[in-house]
Amino acid sequence: MKARNLVISIVFLMSVFYMAYRIFRNASIDKEINSQLVENAILLDVRTAWEYKRGNLPNSLNIKMSDLRTVAIPFEKDRVVITYCSHGMRSIKAKGILKKRGFVNVYNGGSIDDLEPYFEIDKNN
């Protein structure tokens, strides 16, 4: 009986944390993103190279999130940049890092799935 209650409690807590994560992630996606903004933006995929090779947005640039603080960023600081990743958490961090580095027009695009409606995703790329 104790084991059953423990399992139920763990499942309940996991559900609460997942719901909180989803609410936070959806609230943090920049609502200003639209087709025109996406069309003219640099799409910055902050996932690992392995994740990027498994599927990415057309014309996106891949710089993994852990490298954003140290590598030279190959575009001007006033360009419109939309960050994205697999679930949306790294893209939030990446937006903050780029802002601290002086980039002024940075948007959090969330996950690749959040931006998918704007593109045909090439899963074989």
- Choose the weakest-confidence range: 4-13, 18-27, 73-82, 83-92: 18-27
Residue 92 has pLDDT above 70, yes or no: yes
As a whole number of angstroms, the distance between CA 65 and CA 116 comes to 20
Residue 69 has pLDDT above 60, yes or no: yes
Buried b (16+ CB within 10 A) or exposed e, 56-80: bbeebbbbbbeebeeeebeeeeeeb
Reported confidence tier of residue 124, pLDDT bands at 50, 70, 90: low
Domains of the chain: 2-118 (3.40.250.10)
Of the chain, the percentage scoring pLDDT greater than 90 comes to: 53
HEC readout, 73-103: CCCCCCCEEEEEECCCHHHHHHHHHHHHCCC
